């Protein structure tokens, strides 16, 4: 290849030849003679562009990242080994049909052939002493599992258990909201009768923790069988979540389904005779072995790996032992056969059939085709079991909590336009906690304002910063009495605010300061005293167990609930208003304090990240953590607009860029546009692309 790497590509053994083109943003467009050759090309080019990212993800999936990243990664490695991510991937790979296994294998062969050249481009390998290691055939499945093992937020059940013990059973879902550990998304489907061209448009953005390099990779893959562009997950073949085949397109959001269970286990014995009490009243053997986590610059950690008939033990502290039961380990199926089927899809019916084999994560799907077909459904594996399983850990020895079967996945016709934003709706029967309705309602409101939508106009929806969840707090201000003059002036200012967390808004910054003061005062109230201590248990679950972020995200409900009669909300809001006024409300634009703070395996201390508009309940969901920080680590991990009239009029953007190598021309070239919610054009004309020399 030339541009990014200087390497040539051509014939490679059994996979034949392939061609690599790049658009002005360095996004790869690949052509090959057949599907296997194309999978090989995708793996090789991904390794070329993102070798560091691929090796970090492989090591995280295998629980060996601390060997070169150090002690900060040891907690994750311990969890990865205890929940048996790599072993689950091996089992799921062994169960693949031969065609899918060959397709995944071609991708892995490409990765292995590209890793050495890719690593040579990235100084982080030399800095950490990491040497690329050939991937095994199941590694893409392990990367997928590691990426999504916490996606459904089963650790929330640990929090609910704490809440029930501290505040009573009736309060178990008191903090229900779009929590800090949840990955959400926006998505909307506008049928042809509401667009300028008469064909459907699908648009949206997945909300995840922003990573450097990014978790989504723009790509086009083309062979005689199909020609699809979309967003790939580096390390995984195909275009699983977002794609456009020319005649059909699909996109997903998190369905907020609950499909992972925690079981309280009763154990007896030691070593090889360790047993767990089963639901039939008998004692069952517990598989047990130890593994070693190597820690760069530190002592090795011996990890005890236990597995009961329910699943791997993820908590064992004192008298508490909890096992995790999750569908891929039970079914030996990650749904990978759906990935090549999606690439072959030409119609909505094709997409629908492909998604019947989807497993994890559980998603809400929008799809449309150029013939007018529309699809709005849920896809994924959700077990049928007692409703209590969804709320908190349940006794492993009670037959009541055994998984029975698999739930049907709902679907419904598209009427008007379809919106998915993690709120209650089509997936309601499958979950417990959903996002507040604000983003979904706002998208519907904005879409209702026109009947001739175009792809470019969708950027205005992506960029919207209206914060409807501010209203319950602001609604308490008018009735406050005995305020100081400064507090009265602050109240007047906030009540006149337009409720937009716009990047240049100083009122948004002031509101955030008040919200922070309210959250901290509520969290310090004696009613929450039993929830205020430092989290216990495995470190990987701690983000779900801190009180202040929990109060921050649940603020709207906590200000209106009748479940806490001893909580004097008005007094706390009054004190917070006085505090904010007395300390001098920060009169700076929101973007000055609301800056991007992405995760990186090796953070760059010299990086200067942009300020952003939006907040957690805005359509532009660049999420701060109310009461904890104004910085944002979770935002749109990509934005897309799929046009079914002319694919070449589609648009997309990612937070950083197409190249994963720090300092390369396309590493962060999309960042300024993304920060402003602008998108770059999809280029489909091969003659407008730059072919890399062979």
| Nearest CA-CA partner of 334 in 61, 81, 57, 89 | 89
Residue 457 CB contacts under 8 Å (≥ 6 apart), including other chains? 450
Q: How far is CA 319 from CA 218, 266, 315, 316, 528, in A?
A: 48, 9, 10, 8, 24
* Structure tokens belonging to residue 592: 């000055």
Query: Going by DSSP bridges, is the β-strand pair 418-420/185-190 parallel, antiparallel, or unpaired?
Result: antiparallel
Q: How far is CA 408 from CA 128, 178, 210, 387, in A?
A: 47, 24, 33, 16
Average pLDDT, the chain: 95
Q: Report the pLDDT value the prediction gives residue 1, as an integer from 0 to 100.
A: 45
At 143, is the pLDDT very low, low, confident or very high (cuts 50, 70, 90)?
Answer: very high
Cα–Cα distance for residue pair 689/658, rounded to 1 Å = 15
Residue 226 CB contacts under 8 Å (≥ 6 apart), including other chains? 35, 245, 343, 344
Cα–Cα distance for residue pair 670/667, rounded to 1 Å = 8
Cα–Cα distance for residue pair 200/212, rounded to 1 Å = 33
At 520, is the pLDDT very low, low, confident or very high (cuts 50, 70, 90)?
Answer: very high
What's the Rg (C-alpha) of the chain?
A: 25
Q: How far is CA 94 from CA 12, 82, 146, 342, 510, in A?
A: 26, 21, 18, 21, 56
pLDDT above 90 as % of the chain: 92
Give me the CATH topology for the region 13-148.
Answer: Penicillin Amidohydrolase; domain 1 (1.10.439)
The SS3 of residue 25 is coil
* Whether the predicted pLDDT of 178 surpasses 70: no
Cα–Cα distance for residue pair 84/287, rounded to 1 Å = 12
- Give the total residue count for the chain: 694
Packing angle of the helix pair 35-62, 74-82 (nearest 10 deg): 110
* Burial category of 272 from C-beta neighbours within 10 Å (exposed 0-12, middle 13-18, buried 19 and up): exposed
Assess if CATH 1.10.1400 describes domain 464-634.
Answer: yes
* Burial category of 551 from C-beta neighbours within 10 Å (exposed 0-12, middle 13-18, buried 19 and up): buried
Cβ–Cβ contacts within 10 Å for residue 496, how many? 8
Q: How far is CA 302 from CA 268, 290, 345, in A?
A: 22, 7, 47
Asked if 147 and 88 touch (Cβ cutoff 8 Å), the reply is no
Q: What is the pTM of this model?
A: 0.95
| Nearest CA-CA partner of 134 in 119, 115, 118 | 115
Cα–Cα distance for residue pair 17/37, rounded to 1 Å = 7
Q: How far is CA 249 from CA 125, 527, 686, in A?
A: 38, 50, 20
Cα–Cα distance for residue pair 53/656, rounded to 1 Å = 14
Rounded to the nearest angstrom, the gap between the alpha carbon of residue 675 and the centroid of all alpha carbons in its chain is: 19
Q: Report the pLDDT value the prediction gives residue 500, as an integer from 0 to 100.
A: 98
Q: Give the tens place of pLDDT for each residue, 100-125.
A: 999 999 999 999 999 999 999 999 99
Cα–Cα distance for residue pair 528/200, rounded to 1 Å = 49
Q: How far is CA 663 from CA 1, 121, 211, 667, 676, in A?
A: 19, 11, 16, 6, 22
Query: Going by DSSP bridges, is the β-strand pair 639-643/201-209 parallel, antiparallel, or unpaired?
Result: antiparallel
Q: How far is CA 417 from CA 195, 226, 338, 422, 445, in A?
A: 11, 28, 26, 16, 11
* Structure tokens belonging to residue 372: 């007018």
The SS3 of residue 679 is coil
Q: Report the pLDDT value the prediction gives residue 181, as an integer from 0 to 100.
A: 44
Q: Give the tens place of pLDDT for each residue, 252-291.
A: 999 999 999 999 999 999 878 999 999 999 999 999 999 9
Cα–Cα distance for residue pair 328/334, rounded to 1 Å = 5
At 610, is the pLDDT very low, low, confident or very high (cuts 50, 70, 90)?
Answer: very high
The angle formed by the CA atoms of residues 127, 132 and 137, to the nearest 5 degrees, is 150
Helix, strand, coil percent content, the chain, rounded in steps of 5: 35, 20, 45
Domain boundaries, the chain: 13-148, 261-331, 464-634
**CATH class of the region 261-331:** mainly beta
> Can you tell me which residue has the tokens 């997928």?
144
Query: Going by DSSP bridges, is the β-strand pair 374-379/28-32 parallel, antiparallel, or unpaired?
Result: unpaired
Q: Give the tens place of pLDDT for each residue, 193-210.
A: 999 999 999 999 999 999
Q: Rounded mean pLDDT of 479-486?
A: 96
The angle formed by the CA atoms of residues 447, 449 and 453, to the nearest 5 degrees, is 60
| Nearest CA-CA partner of 222 in 88, 54, 34 | 34
Q: Rounded mean pLDDT of 168-193?
A: 81
Residue 547 CB contacts under 8 Å (≥ 6 apart), including other chains? 523, 528, 531, 532
The SS3 of residue 145 is helix
Beta strands in 326-373 (DSSP E): 363-369
Cβ–Cβ contacts within 10 Å for residue 300, how many? 12
Q: Report the pLDDT value the prediction gives residue 513, as an integer from 0 to 100.
A: 97
Q: Give the tens place of pLDDT for each residue, 74-89.
A: 999 999 999 999 999 9
Q: Phi/psi at 566 (nearest 5 deg)?
A: -85, 0
Beta strands in 389-529 (DSSP E): 394-395, 405-406, 418-420
* Structure tokens belonging to residue 63: 């629980």
Cα–Cα distance for residue pair 654/675, rounded to 1 Å = 10
Helix (H) or strand (E) holding 200: none
The angle formed by the CA atoms of residues 49, 52 and 53, to the nearest 5 degrees, is 85
Query: Going by DSSP bridges, is the β-strand pair 394-395/261-264 parallel, antiparallel, or unpaired?
Result: parallel
Q: Give the tens place of pLDDT for each residue, 436-454.
A: 999 999 999 999 989 999 9
At 12, is the pLDDT very low, low, confident or very high (cuts 50, 70, 90)?
Answer: low
Asked if 528 and 159 touch (Cβ cutoff 8 Å), the reply is no
Q: Report the pLDDT value the prediction gives residue 184, as an integer from 0 to 100.
A: 77
* Structure tokens belonging to residue 156: 């929330």
* Whether the predicted pLDDT of 538 surpasses 50: yes
Q: Phi/psi at 123 (nearest 5 deg)?
A: -70, -15
* Whether the predicted pLDDT of 6 surpasses 60: no
pLDDT above 70 as % of the chain: 97
């Amino acid at each position: 290849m030339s541009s990014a790497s200087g390497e040539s590509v051509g014939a490679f053994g059994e996979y034949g030849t392939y061609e690599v083109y790049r658009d002005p943003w360095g996004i790869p467009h690949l052509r090959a003679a057949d599907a296997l050759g194309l999978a090989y090309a995708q793996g090789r080019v991904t390794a070329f562009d993102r070798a560091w990212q691929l090796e970090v993800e492989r090591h995280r999936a295998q629980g060996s990242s601390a060997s070169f990243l150090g002690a900060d990664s040891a907690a994750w490695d311990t969890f990865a080994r205890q929940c048996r991510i790599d072993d689950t991937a091996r089992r799921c790979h062994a169960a693949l049909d031969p065609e899918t296994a060959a397709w995944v294998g071609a991708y892995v062969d490409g990765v292995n052939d590209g890793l050495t050249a890719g690593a040579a481009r990235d100084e982080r390998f030399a800095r950490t002493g990491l040497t690329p290691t050939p991937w095994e055939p199941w590694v893409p499945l392990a990367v997928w599992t590691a990426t999504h093992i916490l996606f459904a937020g089963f650790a929330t059940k640990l929090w609910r258990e704490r809440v029930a013990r501290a505040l009573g059973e009736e309060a178990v879902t008191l903090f229900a909201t779009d929590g800090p550990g949840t990955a959400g998304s926006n998505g909307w489907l506008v049928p042809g009768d509401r667009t300028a061209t008469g064909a459907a448009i699908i648009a949206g953005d997945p909300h995840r923790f922003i990573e450097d390099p990014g978790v989504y990779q723009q790509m086009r893959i083309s062979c005689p069988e199909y020609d699809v562009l979309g967003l790939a997950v580096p390390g995984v073949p195909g275009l699983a979540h977002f794609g456009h085949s020319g005649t059909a397109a699909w996109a997903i959001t998190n369905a907020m389904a609950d499909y992972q269970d925690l079981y309280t286990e009763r154990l007896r014995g030691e070593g090889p005779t360790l047993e767990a009490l089963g639901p039939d009243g008998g004692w069952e053997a517990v598989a047990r072995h130890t593994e070693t986590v190597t820690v760069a610059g530190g002592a090795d950690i011996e990890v005890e790996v236990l597995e009961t008939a329910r699943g791997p033990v993820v908590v064992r502290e004192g008298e508490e032992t909890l096992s995790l039961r999750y569908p891929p380990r039970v079914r030996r199926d990650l749904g990978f056969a759906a990935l090549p089927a999606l690439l072959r899809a030409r119609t909505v019916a094709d997409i629908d059939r492909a998604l019947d084999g989807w497993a994890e994560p559980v998603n809400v799907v929008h799809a449309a085709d150029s013939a007018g077909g529309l699809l709005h459904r849920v896809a994924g594996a959700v077990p049928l079991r007692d409703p209590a399983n969804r709320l908190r850990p349940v006794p492993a020895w009670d037959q009541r909590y055994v998984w029975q079967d698999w739930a049907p996945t709902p679907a419904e016709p598209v009427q008007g336009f379809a919106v998915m934003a993690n709120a209650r709706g089509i997936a309601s029967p499958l979950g417990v906690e959903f996002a507040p309705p604000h983003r979904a309602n706002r998208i519907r409101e904005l879409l209702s304002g026109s009947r001739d939508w175009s792809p470019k106009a969708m950027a205005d929806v992506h960029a919207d910063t209206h914060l409807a969840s501010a209203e319950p707090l602001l609604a308490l201000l008018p009735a406050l009495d005995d305020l100081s003059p400064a507090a009265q002036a602050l109240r007047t200012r906030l009540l006149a605010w337009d409720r937009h967390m716009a990047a240049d808004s100083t009122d948004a910054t002031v509101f955030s300061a008040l919200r922070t003061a309210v959250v901290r005062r509520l969290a310090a109230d004696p009613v929450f005293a039993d929830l205020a201590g430092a989290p216990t248990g495995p470190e990987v679950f701690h983000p779900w167990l801190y009180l202040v972020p929990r109060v921050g995200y649940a603020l709207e409900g906590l200000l209106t609930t009748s479940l806490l009669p001893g909580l004097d909300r008005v007094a706390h809001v009054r004190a917070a208003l006085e505090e904010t006024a007395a300390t001098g409300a920060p009169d700076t634009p929101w973007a000055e304090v609301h800056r991007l703070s992405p995760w990186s395996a090796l953070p760059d201390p010299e990086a200067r990240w942009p300020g952003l508009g939006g907040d957690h309940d805005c359509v532009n969901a660049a999420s701060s953590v109310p009461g904890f920080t104004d910085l944002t680590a979770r935002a749109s991990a990509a934005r897309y607009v799929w046009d079914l009239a002319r694919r070449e009029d589609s648009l997309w953007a990612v937070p950083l860029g197409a190249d994963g190598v720090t300092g390369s021309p396309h590493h962060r070239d999309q960042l300024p546009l993304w920060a402003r919610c602008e998108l770059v054009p999809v280029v489909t004309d091969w003659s407008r692309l730059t072919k890399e020399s062979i």
